[in-house]
Structure 1
């Protein structure tokens, strides 16, 4: 995942009229990005304890991406971003972190 790909996908999601699903996806991205930072700042013992919650946050973000794409398809919106995002868990997790960054910058 690089900046260009992340912003392209984020823009595609941002164009959707499906506000509730979009906000859910953004919140799940922020939740997972926060967990990733906490993971980086934690000791090995703390990481072991937080691993199930981190995995759950990652799974929940992936599910939110899938749900957003399905709903966009149902509404006849372009959901090609989901294929571009791919299935690689690390890439999807990286995208959550990029979304967190983008949301933070937009909020200024």
Structure 2
């Protein structure tokens, strides 16, 4: 059962380590601007990232309606999907770096400068922020699915 409060964007902005819609749009556009959309490896990595983001968004949205028991049952699955999202962003960063594409976007997403051989534990402090951006990407893809 959902909390008594009706959720809205302003409530979200009160959360620690949030991103505004404008920041997410800028981040998304930055990635798209510097990527080669004819590069098949990039497209495969991007599609995998989007698919993981959609899966994560589904469980994260449903979370608001879960009972405590259901949350306990689903928690490890939610964490695993969240880890897949984070890993997908790290893979994207590594690929773009390998291709000598600008990866300044990682500073906004991961909250730190470019890191060589970044691993999931390096960004654990910003898990929720990364998940938020994945939700934004799923939202954009949902809008285009109309």
Task: Compute the TM-score of the two structures, normalised by the length of structure 1.
Answer: 0.92
Output the CA distance in 2 between the equivalents of 1:56 and 1:95: 17
1:11 aligned residue (4, 7, 29): 29
Distance in 2 (alpha carbons) for counterparts of 1:97 and 1:28: 10
- The aligned counterpart of 1:23 is 47
Richer in helix (by share) = 1
Distance 1:28 1:83 in 2: 21
1:66-81, aligned counterparts within 5 Å?
Answer: 66-81=90-105
For normalisation by structure 2, the TM-score amounts to: 0.70
Q: 1:12 Cα shift?
A: 2.4
1:40 maps onto 2:64 in alignment: yes
Note the aligned Cα RMSD (angstroms). 1.2
- Unaligned 5+ runs, structure 1: none
The unaligned stretches of length 5 or more in structure 2 are: 1-18, 37-41, 111-122
The equivalences for 1:76-87 within 5 A come to 76-86=100-110, 87=123
Matched, 1:62 2:86: yes
Q: Looking at CA atoms only, which structure, 1 or 2, has the larger radius of gyration? A: 2
Aligned length, in residue pairs: 108
1:13: Cα distance to partner? 2.6
